[in-house]
Amino acid sequence: MGNRKRWVRALIASVMLLWAMLVPQPATAHAPEYTKSGIMYGEPGFCVHGAVTQGHSWHSIGTQMSNCQNVVSTWHAQYQEYYKVRPGDYYGRYCFYEPERQSNNQQSFSKLYTWDIWYWCNDGGGVNVMLTVDSWQWSWDGRAGNPGWKGNAWRPATSHCHCP
Amino acid sequence: MIKSIAHRRVLLPILLLLTVAVVAASADAEPKTDRDGQTVVADIRSGKAQKVPTAKNREVTYAGVWRGCKFVTLKYHNGTYKFPDGEVVEVSENPDPLPPKDKLDKDGKDCVDREPTEAEINAMRAEINARNAPARPPGAPPFDLDAERAKERRAS
């Protein structure tokens, strides 16, 4: 009888241990992120899905093949332009341009920036600005007949307030 | 003897379940994709992610930064980090500091804050793209950003 009790206790302990190891724990709270993915308009054959995510002190970009009518195309490119928009302004002021980045035949690629865009947009402290990212994606269509880069954009991709 | 049997009965199921747990956990050890940016940054800074060597020709990326009345070329470093669960993340880090604004513009006149012209932007893009020189798909011509943007404007 005593052995059976031990057996049951051991079983319960093991199940609890197993539960703790395998069931994902609730995520910790994070500062809000600002994300946009997808495209505003796609040309026939366009098969790249892009994403930009922005938080304070970091942002990330990524592209991946999706919905591809053009199965031979695995190369895709993405580039970004960064702006600051002051309160009341409709247009953003130019901050910087980042060169195109290509997938080198990978199905997807992404890159995380471990710094705030403000670092290269700073035009003096003590101002509120929205930092926005415009993003474009292209995929290479190498099929005979109409080879070329196919793609489009969305803008602004993301924004976050840089507030002192 | 009895004690030994009792211990076996207690320990064996635990060991069995532990084995199952370890096997299940290792089967699930393929790279995760749900690690968000903030977590990655925190893990890199705390040393949880190990830096792996980056290809020599991919160590830096150059960007064109508008500095009031002219563009300056700044760079950041490309790093690659590997997490214990196998996820590999490419990061941009150590951006050059933003230099102070020049007193004079590229024509030697007083630097007055303004927006870049389309021609200035195009020239900067060409210079930056050439400097970073990405690889091309087989048979593809150089990526002509201006032509693509013109096509895009026509489409919209």
Chain A residues lying within 8 Å of B138, measured CB to CB:
142
Q: Indicate whether B126 pLDDT > 80.
A: yes
How confident is the model at residue A11, as a pLDDT? Answer: 65
Question: Which of helix, strand or coil describes residue B123?
Answer: helix
Give the DSSP H or E segment for B63: strand B60-66
CB contact under 8 A, B66 and A94: yes
pLDDT tens sequence across A40-50: 666 666 678 88
Closest CA to B77 of B96, B97, B105, B103: B96
Do A113 and B137 lie within an 8 Å CB cutoff? no
Nearest by CB: A112 against B13, B20, B40: B40
CA distance to partner chain A, nearest, from residue B84 (Å): 16
| Nearest one of B77, B87, B85, B82 to B47, comparing CA atoms | B82
User: Residue B152: enclosing H or E segment and its boundaries?
Assistant: helix B145-155
A7 to B20: CB separation less than 8 angstroms, yes or no: no
Find the CB nearest B10 among A6, A57, A140. A6
* Helices and strands (H and E) in chain B: how many: 4, 4
**Out of A2, A58, A119, closest to residue B38 by CB:** A58
- Give the angle subtended at the CA of B135 by the CAs of B134 and B138, to the nearest 5°: 150
Instruction: Nearest by CB to A149, from B90, B132, B148: name it.
Output: B148
E runs forming strands in A4-147: 34-37, 48-55, 58-65, 76-85, 93-102, 108-113, 129-141
* pLDDT digit string, tens, across residues B60-100: 999 999 999 999 999 999 999 998 888 888 999 999 999 99
Judged by CB atoms closer than 8 Å, whether chains meet at B74 and A55 is answered as no
Q: ipTM score of the complex?
A: 0.73
Residues 15-54 of A with CB under 8 A from B: 15, 17-18, 21-22, 30-31, 33, 41, 43, 53
Per-residue confidence (pLDDT) for residue A123, from 0 to 100: 72
d(CA B5, CA B88): 47
Contact A140 B121 (CB under 8 A): no
pTM above 0.90, yes or no: no
pLDDT tops 90 at residue A135: no
Provide the H-helix boundaries in B2-139.
2-27, 37-46, 118-132
